[in-house]
Amino acid sequence: MLGLLGYVGGRMTLAPSEVVVMSTYVMLAGIALGALVIAAHASRTRRPLVLRLFATVCVLYGVLTVLYPYSRAVANPEAALTVVAIVLLAIGWKDLSDPTLWRTMPPNRK
């Protein structure tokens, strides 16, 4: 959510040359932080692999968006990643919406 707000806000407020640079990196930072949180909490769910794959797909989508912001050649891979992310989100929705998952911190790994 933070990434999308920064992306849209940056496009509305900055000069055109600065828009691509700042807003896409803010979007990538938001996607990466969200994926990190989901991956950190995934070990305590019933299906941790699904949530880790979802986080990975989201990060890959963000990286493609930053590397090729307006490229038509990347549109099909981004569309495929979006479909995969939606399917993984639908599969892992019960785990993500579990309130006990978000009330406690993930266990420390030593």
CA pair distance 75, 59, nearest whole angstrom: 16
pLDDT confidence of residue 3 = 57
- CB-CB contact of 40 with 16 (8 Å): no
Q: At CA 76, angle to CA 26 and CA 74, rounded to 5?
A: 50
User: Encoding tokens for residue 103?
Assistant: 């009330």
- CB-CB contact of 27 with 62 (8 Å): yes
pLDDT digits (tens, 9 = 90+) for 55-108: 999 889 888 887 887 778 888 888 899 899 999 989 999 888 888 877 776 666
Q: Where are the domains of the chain?
A: 2-103
